[in-house]
Amino acid sequence: MNSFSYHNPTKILFGAGQIAHLGREMAASGLTRCLLIAGGGSIKQNGAYDQVIDSLSKAKIAVVEAWGVQANPRLDKVREIIALAKEQKVEALLAVGGGSVLDTAKAVAAGYYLNDAWNAFTRREKVSRALPLYTVLTLSATGSEMNGNAVITNTDSYQKWGMYSPHIYPRLSIIDPSLQRTLPFRQTASGAFDAMAHILEYYFANDSAKSTLSMNAALLRTIVAMTDRLQQDAGDYEARANLAWSATMALNGMSGVGLDGGDWACHVIEHAFSALHPSIAHGEGLAVIFPAWIAYVSDRAPARFAAWAKDVWNEESAITALAKFRDKLEAWGMPGSLRDLGIKDDDLPKLVEIILSASPTGVGGVFKLDPKDLQALLVLAF
Amino acid sequence: MNSFSYHNPTKILFGAGQIAHLGREMAASGLTRCLLIAGGGSIKQNGAYDQVIDSLSKAKIAVVEAWGVQANPRLDKVREIIALAKEQKVEALLAVGGGSVLDTAKAVAAGYYLNDAWNAFTRREKVSRALPLYTVLTLSATGSEMNGNAVITNTDSYQKWGMYSPHIYPRLSIIDPSLQRTLPFRQTASGAFDAMAHILEYYFANDSAKSTLSMNAALLRTIVAMTDRLQQDAGDYEARANLAWSATMALNGMSGVGLDGGDWACHVIEHAFSALHPSIAHGEGLAVIFPAWIAYVSDRAPARFAAWAKDVWNEESAITALAKFRDKLEAWGMPGSLRDLGIKDDDLPKLVEIILSASPTGVGGVFKLDPKDLQALLVLAF
């Protein structure tokens, strides 16, 4: 088990109706004026917006609103919101939405104090402070509600890049699973797979972090079981709640304890998919690449993949576990190949180029994939 | 799954050699002078003391020392250390030891600003601030390194009581599992059972927090497996590390997510044992009462105990799982009855009286035990 440091200062309020506490929590920190950041308007349908405005108004907190964050959130939107935040002299940010909205708000929080927000992603400028960030989560997937990560796409340069800073952990995140009861199953499943992928990025790093690995197997089994239930009944609160908390746990630091920082090749590859085709949902891109990646790298550490097969899928071999895994994704209606995602064979060289632009010698913290491996893996996933 | 709030601001540095970072971390917070709190001297044998002094001295942090904290730590010692802390005008506390040392330091941290430290336990005074607390853990058991709980014994009144405050979470805890390599197995096993007991207090509260329950089963299985390995080889670092982190996870809030605050009857009962006989190790007292409690209450929620049997012990019934559980404790050399703990039949009425002094109508947040139940349970455990 590797040495590690763990520190996660985010406060969580979890459960139906918890938004009611938002205004009081912000007021207790001395805040009087915030910028609400949101997407295309779904928070007006699911009830989150009205509850937020009601709670803020009771606590006498003024609100400025910034709408229009899209899936695979974009740098130009981040810059636009930073300009608004400066003009409106807000004291804090309040992200109400899914991972795209939260990540946009994180980039705004850090970028507010930089010459340009993109410099946080290229490491050209150091993030040494950020606007205080509060979040209300409406789609469980990215884990962004309880970590210091953000992913933003620079559409000019086809770069979908991530950043981490201890300054962009939300002060408070409210997770009300009942807000997710109206999500189409496709979005639920895509979010669930995003969470599974975070755990899988860590899962094969070593076999000595027994405590984390057994917890991770438990989280993966729970996510699968709860997603199955939600496919039958989108309004199953217990399943929503357990899926939501599992997704938070999947990337709040706990799932990576003692696991060398994880691999993350599949995330880098998927980021290239959606940098090239912004319409690809992150979870769906991951659902295509991860099974192919397991098939491609599992012989580099057979014992670890055999343990995954046993502990997650109750199978004696990685081969049969992988088949079960693919069957499950198919049963959820997830895409099974790059073609299903709308990627053409012509796109492959460009994808390899985008992937290598970030790390020219290859990707993968645990199982290094060189340019030849990447080409072979994409063909396998095609 | 119940609504909950989660907030744990403690930073953890985990792994062999991490004490080297202590001085720099404290200096980065502007500290120049601290009070080191310790037990009977084992930290001079296991190497912790020298590493701590070396790290503090490099960071130019002055140290005053307070020694002599005992197992089942006492209120009179807390008061004595508070007087020293005031006299010496220290800026922070540094607890180096096991749960008793850490809990003493927490009571000092809170009591420093009160008329009397015991008022934090009786709730006669509100804890609204505390001295900053740093810890170096040398025995994994209580989870005190990553929570806001402390348990102290008032020997005048036979009260072993707990307190919680958000102000007494350690700022930083260093967990170096290699410091525990020289522990006698009896202490390792007692600590391991203390950690198991924390999880068990939550385990039977409901069956809807699927995510937490599956994580808790994973933690219990890991603790059992690692303790078995340490019985064979006390120097097995991987087993020490996984046991240590599991014990931290057992009471850092994660194991209780969505589980109604847990039951805690067994802890209240065990606290009576050691209030009456301070020589009883907390983990050993718990090892006697918990199996008896499971036998006594399991028919109140058969499905939850059947799930525990399956998920932790791979048994089809709670009866056979309980037998396996008892066999395991016996194999570890743990006491099996109140008699093994040195408790006499004459003590039982006094024990019931001590237990009821805190809550006259009975104990147990999930399965209420009235005075008649308590009497019957103690006879069963005798």
| A142 token code pair | 């990215």
Strands A11-14 and B4-6, by their bridges, are antiparallel
pLDDT class for A274, splitting at 50, 70, 90?
A: confident
Smallest CA–CA separation between A7 and chain B, in Å? Answer: 4
First to last CA, chain B: 36
CB contact under 8 A, B7 and A12: yes
The CA distance from B56 to A13, in Å, is 38
Q: What is the pLDDT of residue A355?
A: 93
The structural domains of chain A, ordered by start, are 11-179 (3.40.50.1970), 185-381 (1.20.1090.10)
Count Cβ–Cβ pairs < 8 Å, chain A vs chain B.
Answer: 124
Chain A residue closest in CA terms to B240: A1
The confidence score (pLDDT) of residue A230 equals 98
Of the pLDDT bands very low, low, confident and very high (cuts 50, 70, 90), residue B1 is confident
Average pLDDT, chain A: 96
**3-state SS, residue B101:** helix
Question: Residue A124: CB partners within 8 Å, gap ≥ 6?
Answer: A118
Enumerate the residues of chain B whose CB falls inside 8 A of the CB of residue A13.
Answer: 3, 5
Single-letter amino acid, residue A57: S
Tokens standing for B130? 């505390």
Type of residue found at A93: L
Residue A343: in which H helix or E strand, if any?
A: none
Q: What is the ipTM of this complex?
A: 0.95
Q: B12 CA to chain A: closest CA distance, Å? A: 5
pTM score, whole prediction: 0.96
Contact B35, B64 (CB under 8 A): yes
> Strand pairing partners for B14?
A4, B175
Question: To 10 degrees, what angle do helices A302-313 and A210-232 make?
Answer: 40
Chain A residue numbers with beta carbons less than 8 Å from the beta carbon of B210 are: 222, 225-226, 238, 242
For residue A15, pLDDT over 80 is answered with yes
B236 contacts B229 by C-beta, under 8 angstroms: yes
B10, B211, B257: best mutation site toward chain A, by most A Cβ within 10 Å? B211
Instruction: Report yes or no: A257 and A211 within 8 Å, Cβ to Cβ.
Output: yes
What percent of chain A lies above the pLDDT cut of 90?
A: 93
Residue B219 Cα, gap to closest chain A Cα (Å): 6
Tokens describing residue A185:
């199953």
Q: Please give the DSSP secondary-structure letter assigned to residue B369.
A: B
| Tokens, residue A308 | 């995954």
Beta carbons within 10 angstroms of residue B336's beta carbon? 15
DSSP state at residue B303: H
Closest C-alpha to A244, from A202, A281, A195, A286: A195
Q: How far is CA B229 from CA B141, B222, B234, B240, B328, in A?
A: 17, 11, 8, 9, 13
- Please tell me the distance from the alpha carbon of residue B261 to that of residue B132, in angstroms, as a whole number: 27
Residue B212 is predicted with a pLDDT of 98
Q: In this complex, which of A4, A9, A226 lies closest to B9 when CB atoms are compared?
A: A9
Q: What's the burial of A203, exposed, middle or buried (CB within 10 Å: 0-12/13-18/19+)?
A: buried
Q: Chain B partners of A214 at a C-beta cutoff of 8 Å? A: 218-219, 221-222
Selected residue with higher pLDDT from B142 and A158: B142
Tokens for A25? Answer: 């929590």
Could you identify the residue written with the tokens 């609400």?
A36
Distance CA B17, CA B305 (A): 41
The per-residue pLDDT for B319 is 96
- In chain B, residues with a C-beta closer than 8 Å to the C-beta of A3 are 13-18
Closest CA to B228 of B218, B219, B214, B240: B240
Q: What pLDDT sits at residue B360?
A: 86
Q: Is B70 helix (H, G, I), strand (E, B) or coil?
A: coil
Q: What confidence tens digit (pLDDT) does each residue in B88-119 have?
A: 999 999 999 999 999 999 999 999 999 999 99
Give A18's contacts in chain B (Cβ within 8 Å). Answer: 3
DSSP state of A74: B
Distance CA A205, CA A259 (A): 6
Rounded Cα distance, A135 and A19, in Å: 10
How far apart (Å, rounded) are the C-alpha atoms in residues B142 and B315? 28
Q: For residue B19, what is the DSSP state?
A: G
pLDDT of A360 higher than 90: no
What 3-state class would DSSP assign to B150?
strand
pLDDT band at residue A273, thresholds of 50, 70 and 90?
very high
CB contact under 8 A, B238 and A1: yes
Mean pLDDT along residues B245-260: 97
pLDDT (0 to 100) of residue B122: 95
Cα angle vertex A56, ends B3, A49, to 5°?
70
| pLDDT tens-place string over residues A18-76 | 999 999 999 999 999 999 999 999 999 999 999 999 999 999 999 999 999 999 899 99
Q: What 3-state DSSP class applies to A43?
A: helix
Q: Which of A8, A225, A238 sits opposite B1 (nearest CB)?
A: A238
The pLDDT value recorded for residue B173 is 98
Tokens of B25: 């971390």
- Chain B positions in Cβ-Cβ contact with residue A219 (cut-off 8 Å): 211, 214-215
Q: Is the pLDDT reported for residue B358 higher than 80?
A: no
- Tell me how far apart the alpha carbons of residues B122 and B115 are, in angstroms, rounded to a whole number: 13
Output the six-digit token pair for B72.
């089942």
Amino acid B168 reads I
Are the beta carbons of A211 and B219 separated by less than 8 Å? yes
State yes or no: pLDDT of A358 exceeds 80: no
Please state the rounded mean pLDDT for residues B272-294.
93
Which stretch of B55-69, B253-267, B351-365 has the lowest confidence by average pLDDT?
B351-365
Residue B37 phi, psi dihedral angles, 5° rounding: -115, 130
B114-148 pLDDT, tens per residue?
999 999 999 999 999 999 999 999 999 999 999 99
B202-242, pLDDT tens digit by residue?
A: 999 999 999 999 999 999 999 999 999 999 999 999 999 99
Q: Could you tell me the pLDDT band of residue A359, with boundaries at 50, 70 and 90?
A: confident
Q: Could you tell me which of A297, A206, A227, A274 has the C-alpha nearest to residue A2? A: A206
pLDDT of residue B157: 86
> Which residues from B are below 8 Å from A when comparing CB atoms?
1-18, 177, 208-212, 214-215, 217-219, 221-222, 225-226, 237-238, 241-242, 245-246, 249, 254, 257-258
pLDDT digits (tens, 9 = 90+) for B5-27: 999 999 999 999 999 999 999 99
Whether A215 contacts A309, CB under 8 Å: no
Residue A318, token pair as written in the block: 């990685």
Q: Cα(A269)–Cα(A369) distance, rounded to whole angstroms? A: 11
Which one of B217, B241, B258 has the shortest CB-CB distance to A218? B217
Contacts of A141 (CB under 8 A, 6+ apart): A98, A99, A190, A191, A192, A194, A195, A247, A282, A283
pLDDT score of A43: 96
**Closest among A145, A329, A144, A142 to A231, alpha carbons compared:** A329
Residues of A with CB under 8 A from a CB of B: 1-18, 177, 208-212, 214-215, 217-219, 221-222, 225-226, 238, 241-242, 245-246, 249, 254, 257-258
pLDDT at residue A104 above 90?
yes
Instruction: Say if residues B29 and B87 touch (Cβ distance below 8 Å).
Output: no
Residue A14 clears pLDDT 90, i.e. is over it: yes
Is B141:B281 a contact under the CB 8 Å cutoff?
A: no
What distance in Å separates the CA atoms of residue B124 and residue B120, rounded to the nearest whole number?
7
State the angle between helix axes of B210-232 and B237-249 in degrees (0 to 180), rounded to the nearest 10: 150
Runs of H (alpha helix) within chain A: 22-28, 42-45, 48-58, 75-88, 99-111, 118-122, 185-203, 210-232, 237-250, 265-276, 282-297, 302-313, 318-331, 347-358, 371-381
pLDDT, residue B179, reads 97
Q: Mean of the pLDDT values across residues A185-202?
A: 97
Give the alpha-carbon dihedral of B328, B332, B334, B336, to 10 degrees. Answer: 30
Q: For residues A270-278, give the mean pLDDT.
A: 90
Segment holding B173, helix H or strand E:
strand B172-175
Q: Write out chain B residues lying below 8 Å of A218, CB-based.
A: 211, 214-215, 217-218
Q: Pick from A4, A211, A314 the residue to mutate for testing the B interface (most B CBs within 10 Å).
A: A211
Residues of B in contact with A222 (CB under 8 A): 210-211, 214
Q: Which two tokens stand for residue A275?
A: 């940098």
Task: Give the Cα separation of B193 and A235 in Å (integer).
Answer: 40
